[in-house]
């Protein structure tokens, strides 16, 4: 059994939307999130569709949809060149703010009280034990969203001390975490392009002789917004108008091109 003191410590860092940091971010930048993915998904997200829920074991907070508030538009660019933007409605969410050391320690105390804690520390199965524990934590406390500082960074793009990322729960009808496609982020669309990238290996893992562009065919059928374009990435990282421009591009069916200067 988990002691009441541990539960109380966790609950002190769970907020309703109106009391949360997330409401402040939405108030300034709108109810949009962004998720960077590989450019191979450009054509898939020309029309709005649901984001795939991440379910691999090596995830910071378990099975969830990992997105970034539009307040930090380029923070997660290390995961791909295509920015998928989506509106969402968090007003009924329970939000665990894991951005403070006190909240992190509350989770650690809870984890140490779990039967799986020894498996986590003393066996080769630590990754799977961690994954299950993080899911159990969010299920036990009915957490809809975890706010956390980035634990991976793209050089010059990500401020791990001040940026905030989100791990968002979709619930199944049984009250467990859904691992499939997000209903909370069901209208995601390709809205930001940071230059181009290439698939350098074939399906067998061997280098390809010719690497075809993966974005060009998608951009040919879209109009590009140009109030800040082409926007050099050095300027874009600190440009106060970038979140608004991205939201406008999303709503108009276009995209913003952030040009990476040579």
- The 10s digit of each residue's pLDDT in 133-169 is 999 999 999 999 999 999 888 877 889 999 999 999 9
How many Å apart are CA 105 and CA 60, to the nearest integer? Answer: 15
Q: Determine contact, residues 131/111, Cβ cutoff 8 Å.
A: no
Task: Give the three-state DSSP class for 256.
Answer: strand
Tokens of 24: 């402040």
- What are the C-alpha distances in Å from 21 to residues 15, 16, 32, 78? 9, 10, 15, 24
Enumerate helices (H) and strands (E) in the chain, giving the number of each: 8, 10
pTM as predicted: 0.85
Average pLDDT over all residues of the chain: 87
How many Å apart are CA 157 and CA 144, to the nearest integer? Answer: 27
Give the phi and the psi of residue 247 in degrees, each rounded to 5.
-60, -40
What pLDDT does residue 3 have? 82
- The 10s digit of each residue's pLDDT in 22-54 is 999 999 899 999 999 988 899 999 999 999 999
- The 10s digit of each residue's pLDDT in 49-97 is 999 999 988 889 999 999 999 999 988 888 888 999 999 999 999 999 9
230 cis-preceded (ω within 30 degrees of 0): yes
Q: What is the 3-state secondary structure (H, E, C) of 91-133?
A: CCCEEEECCCHHHHHHHHHHHHCCCCHHHHHHCCCHHHHHHHH
Residue entry with tokens 């669309």: 189
Q: What is the mean pLDDT of residues 235-243?
A: 79
């Amino acid at each position: 059994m988990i002691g009441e003191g541990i539960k109380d410590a966790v609950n002190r860092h769970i907020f309703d939307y109106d009391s949360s940091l997330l409401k402040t971010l939405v108030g300034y930048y709108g109810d949009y999130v962004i998720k960077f993915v590989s450019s191979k998904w450009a054509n898939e997200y020309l029309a709005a569709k649901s984001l795939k829920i991440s379910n691999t074991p090596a995830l910071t907070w378990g099975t969830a949809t990992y997105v970034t508030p539009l307040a930090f538009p380029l923070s997660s660019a290390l995961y791909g060149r295509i920015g998928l933007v989506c509106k969402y409605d968090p007003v009924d969410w329970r939000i665990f703010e894991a951005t403070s050391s006190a909240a992190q320690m509350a989770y650690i105390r809870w984890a140490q009280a779990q039967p799986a804690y020894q498996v986590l520390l003393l066996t080769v199965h630590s990754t799977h034990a961690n994954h299950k524990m993080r899911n159990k934590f969010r299920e036990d406390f009915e957490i809809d969203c975890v706010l956390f500082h980035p634990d991976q960074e793209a050089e010059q793009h990500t401020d791990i001390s001040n940026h905030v990322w989100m791990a968002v729960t979709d619930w199944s009808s049984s009250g467990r975490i859904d691992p499939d496609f997000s209903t909370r982020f069901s209208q995601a669309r390709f809205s930001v392009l940071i230059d181009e990238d290439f698939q350098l290996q074939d399906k067998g893992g061997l280098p390809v002789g010719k690497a075809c562009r993966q974005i060009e065919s998608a951009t040919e059928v879209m109009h590009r917004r140009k109030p800040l374009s082409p926007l050099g990435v050095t300027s874009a990282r600190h440009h106060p108008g970038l979140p608004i421009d991205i939201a406008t591009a999303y709503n108009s069916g276009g995209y913003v091109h952030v040009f990476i200067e040579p």
